Amino acid sequence: MNQWIFLSVAIVSEVIGTSALKAAEGFSRLWPSVTVAVGYAVSFYFLSLTLRTMPIGVAYAIWSGVGVALIALISWVLFGQSLDLPGILGISLIMAGVIVLNLFSTTVSHP
């Protein structure tokens, strides 16, 4: 069960770090730059904890897939960036892959 908590923290902190990249303006602004660095450091630490019990391919697929979808949603809501139909379709396919991986893969251990 801890692996899912660790992976969730890794995903959320990576999304926070990535979201702050825009505000960091090429690392020229201090606090957004600190947020990026801390977000990524926390993310990689918790991803490493996840890898103690979950295969790296599975963990990374979930981490990156959910992260991509959340970043796209945050970009749309907070930054007013639009998604066209191919973008929505592509993100939907990524999420479908994460769902299939979790529901049907024997490499993912479930509690």
Domain boundaries, given as residue ranges, for the chain: 2-104
Instruction: Check whether 100 has a pLDDT greater than 80.
Output: yes
Q: What pLDDT digit, counting tens, does each position of 13-48 carry?
A: 999 999 999 899 999 999 999 999 999 999 999 999
Q: Is-contact 77 52, C-beta < 8 A? A: no
pLDDT, position 31 = 97
Give pTM, 2 decimals. Answer: 0.87
Q: What is the mean pLDDT of residues 66-70?
A: 92
More confident call, 107 vs 69: 69
